[in-house]
Chains A and B, each alone.
Chain A
């Protein structure tokens, strides 16, 4: 049961052939070759596959692609500024060494991105709650929280 489907990813419409049993992660990675989104548990348990759907973080590994057709999807590939410069959040991750093996990083970034859009001045505690479903085995989380705090509006202003 194949179908032609259009996905709005990172602001662009992309056409591809899918089947209903494909998840959004499968389509993004295997069909659209946006491999920045990772599959680490394929069960909704770890956040590695986090993408934004209409601005909220979801686990693309358990999201059926058919149900994502008319939604706005954002992936890690869409984070950098036009022209390729890193966003403030990405810069902060790089500066703080918040990406070790990097396998959780895309999901962390997308979760943090959603948080900072809805709450540009989060407290450290709010940051922790937001990323509490994103598992990272490498960093011990400290540098990730540091990085997100450095990318908050308050920190940006202080730096300016």
Chain B
């Protein structure tokens, strides 16, 4: 546990190709805002003799967000960049909420969204939210480009499918049907064991039919329970085809709980954790459904803004 960082070599490439090359040659990780890397280096949880910075590569801070074309965020886009954006708030609410609730707020000014997703830290919020939005990552490496679904991205605690030298250039969340809504929530708890992640977070996306009477699509994600957020298809199946209502959301939450293993061996801790988890999931789904029902983005509005932008 250090007070300062141990020395490392540092490269500041100015193109993606150069960055990839440097990272491969030195078997070095990339660094963007450093919000994950710097604290872990200081605590000596990680040791890296060399880092390759993405900070000076132009173009990576572009982003575009629109209900019709989806949300595309470059690797350097920081979490707070999303906050003032109207479409982020309305149509990609889960990720917007997760960014808004980043605690402490200063971190949102420093840490990139892509960096958050790439960290593979089990209790981070943005992966949970982004998974509910069906996010995919655009990866560039020496061998060329590939697209990886966030659901397939994590392989183990702190580990992703990326190999050294592969860089995520952007994250993309596809546009969704008009009558859709998403939401994100989290609760802090106190840790009981080393594997207990001290926090629970959940995100959901609900799509209604044209009459807004039945659920036609749903995504239910719970994070912070294991090394990565998971989608719970059994819970989604409970929702699809049904009219949204409170009891249904509770059933969906129960379907998630049925798949969870306890974390500690303290019975009372587990019981309360399950109870809190149930409320969290139920309320998250309920909020997503309510947003789906009350969405307001008539095509005209959207078109107007599209014109303004161009």
Contact = CB atoms under 8 A, between A and B. Distances in A.
A and B in contact, CB less than 8 Å: yes
A44 B7 contact: no
Contacts of B35: 44, 62
Interface in A46-87: 46-47, 50, 53, 56-59, 62-64, 66-67
B10 A66 contact: yes
B10 A58 contact: no
B89 to A, nearest CB: 16
B34 interface: yes
A106 interface: no
A42 B4 CA distance: 8
Interface in B40-59: 42-43, 51, 53, 55
B3 interface: yes
Q: Give the contact-size bracket for chain B.
A: 20 to 34
A42 B7 contact: no
A90 interface: no
Given A19-B7, A42-B3, A111 B34 contact: no
Given A23-B5, A43-B39, A59-B110, A133 B104 contact: yes
A58 B110 contact: yes
A159 interface: no
Nearest to B80: A56
A44 B106 contact: yes
Given A62-B39, A64-B34, A67-B34, A111 B7 contact: no
Contact of B10 (A20, A50, A62, A133): A20
B5 A130 contact: no
Contacts of B103: 132-133
Interface string B25-37: 0000001001100
A44 B39 contact: yes
B91 to A, nearest CB: 23
A113 interface: no
B105 interface: yes
Given A47-B104, A133-B103, A133-B104, A1 B7 contact: yes
B9 interface: yes
Interface in B69-107: 80, 103-107
B243 interface: no
Nearest to A68: B55
Contact of A21 (B6, B53, B106): B6
Name which of B53, B55, B104, B106 has the most chain A CB atoms within 10 A of its CB: B106
Interface in B100-122: 103-107, 109-110
B104 A134 contact: yes
Nearest to A49: B106
Contact of A26 (B4, B10, B43, B105): B4
A62 B110 contact: yes
B5 A57 contact: no
B12 interface: yes
Interface string B178-217: 0000000000000000000000000000000000000000
Interface string A127-143: 00110111000000000
A60 to B, nearest CB: 10
Nearest to B109: A56
B42 A132 contact: no
Contact of B104 (A1, A21, A42, A45): A45
A21 B8 contact: yes
B38 interface: yes
A57 B39 contact: no
A20 B8 contact: yes
Interface string A95-119: 0000000000000000100000000
Nearest to B53: A67
Given A20-B9, A44-B35, A66-B10, A133 B106 contact: yes
A66 B53 contact: yes
Contact of A1 (B9, B80, B110): B9
A23 B31 CA distance: 14
Contact of A58 (B3, B7, B8, B109): B109
A59 B9 contact: no
Interface of A: 1, 19-23, 26, 42-47, 50, 53, 56-59, 62-64, 66-67, 111, 129-130, 132-134
Given A58-B110, A132-B103, 10 more contacts: A20-B7, A21-B5, A21-B6, A44-B104, A47-B104, A56-B80, A59-B104, A66-B10, A66-B12, A134-B104
